[in-house]
Amino acid sequence: MNVQIIDRIEQLRTCVTTSLRLGRTVGLVPTMGALHAGHISLIDQAVGDCELVIVSLFVNPTQFNKQNDFEGYPRTREEDLLVCEQQGVDVVFAPSVKEMYTGSEQTIVDVSYLTDHLCGLARPGHFRGVSTVVAKLLNITRADFVYFGEKDAQQLAVVRRMVEDLNIPTQIVAVPTVREADGLALSSRNQHLTDEDRKVAVVIYNALVVAKDAIVSGEKNAAVVLRIAREKLQEQPLARVEYFEIVDAVDMQPVEVIRASVRAVTAVWVGGTRLIDNVLCCPNE
């Protein structure tokens, strides 16, 4: 393989230092592996922008609320390495948990306010884990650009706030959500869906679309939009809604009156799989 596989922090730092001395632009695509077309869109963007592209493959234990969820997260290392090779990635950073966490840490990164609801409410501590590991990866790689998908809009908002508040000199690049032909957002968790679950899951995107259509058509009352969307979700009784909200497009706070761009955001359980998705909605689009 032409792609370099690194599992030690100091080795990666040496690699990055050499590239920076040569004036090469560094791009980072943080992932937990189980790469799919959504990840590939991030990698392709990074390869087009940067001269040294690093993809991290690290299932981060600190962002999981349940041990069985962490243990059950799909791990497809060999397939992931092949994807990185085919897409022109320069370095794969695949550290062990012990390499990233010594067990004696006393510091965490906790972004408040943005994480008080939605996935932050449903998964206490999740975003502390995300923020902390992303901060570590940015410090290790000194990336000029870091790439995130828009599918996890709250995560994107949290990382943006963290980078701004901590004066981290990395530019965040948001890449549009990649979807199946029927609209289902690509996710590593989709592989847990049974054939029947897969049919049910389409209702998630359909509900987001009816919400967006209502807003684009001029509906300003968020409660009305939510009612329309929830009625769509009820067409599939096997879809269990954790939340469906209309939130500010920047700070992810719920709104009552829609005056500017907002996001319709949702988390839905289909079988034993939790799926999240969102769409940007612009009034009078």
The enclosing domain of 119 has a CATH number of: 3.40.50.620
DSSP state letter for 14: H
pLDDT for position 1 = 63
Given 144, 175, 206, the domain boundary residue is 175
pLDDT for position 285 = 56
92 residue type, one letter:
V
Residue positions annotated with a catalytic role: 39
284 lies in some domain:
no
Question: Does one domain contain both 18 and 109?
Answer: yes
Question: Does one domain contain both 95 and 132?
Answer: yes
Question: Does one domain contain both 217 and 134?
Answer: no
**Residue 5 forms beta bridges with which residues?**
92
The first and second tokens of residue 46, run together, are 């990074």
99 lies in some domain:
yes
- Number of structural domains in the chain: 2
pLDDT for position 284 = 73
Tokens 């306010």 — which residue? 113
Question: Does one domain contain both 138 and 268?
Answer: no
pLDDT for position 65 = 87
Quote the CA–CA distance of 169 and 56 in Å, as a whole number. Answer: 19
| Greatest alpha-carbon span in the chain | 58
pLDDT for position 27 = 98
Domain at 200, CATH number: 3.30.1300.10
**Residue 105 forms beta bridges with which residues?**
none
Handedness of CA 253, 255, 260, 264 (dihedral sign): positive
Quote the CA–CA distance of 33 and 62 in Å, as a whole number. Answer: 16
Question: Does one domain contain both 227 and 171?
Answer: no
Question: Does one domain contain both 11 and 128?
Answer: yes
Neighbours of 19 (CB within 10 A): 19
Question: Does one domain contain both 163 and 27?
Answer: yes
134 residue type, one letter:
V
Quote the CA–CA distance of 267 and 89 in Å, as a whole number. Answer: 32
Question: Does one domain contain both 22 and 64?
Answer: yes
182 lies in some domain:
no
269 lies in some domain:
yes
Question: Does one domain contain both 9 and 144?
Answer: yes
Domain of 222, in residue numbers? 188-278
Rounded to two decimals, the pTM is 0.96
Question: Does one domain contain both 15 and 111?
Answer: yes
Given 128, 150, 175, the domain boundary residue is 175
74 lies in some domain:
yes
Q: In what order do the strands lie in the sheet with 239-248?
A: 239-248, 262-270, 273-281
283 lies in some domain:
no
pLDDT for position 171 = 98
For the chain, 285 residues long, give each residue's pLDDT as a single digit of tens.
689 999 999 999 999 999 999 999 999 999 999 999 999 999 999 999 999 999 999 999 999 988 988 998 999 999 999 999 999 999 999 999 999 999 999 999 999 999 999 999 999 999 999 999 999 999 999 999 999 999 999 999 999 999 999 999 999 999 999 999 999 999 999 999 999 999 999 999 999 999 999 999 999 999 999 999 999 999 999 999 999 999 998 999 999 999 999 999 999 999 999 999 999 999 875
183 lies in some domain:
no
pLDDT for position 123 = 94
Question: Does one domain contain both 136 and 222?
Answer: no
The first and second tokens of residue 243, run together, are 């939340």
Given 115, 141, 175, the domain boundary residue is 175
204 lies in some domain:
yes
Question: Does one domain contain both 31 and 127?
Answer: yes
Quote the CA–CA distance of 226 and 276 in Å, as a whole number. Answer: 16
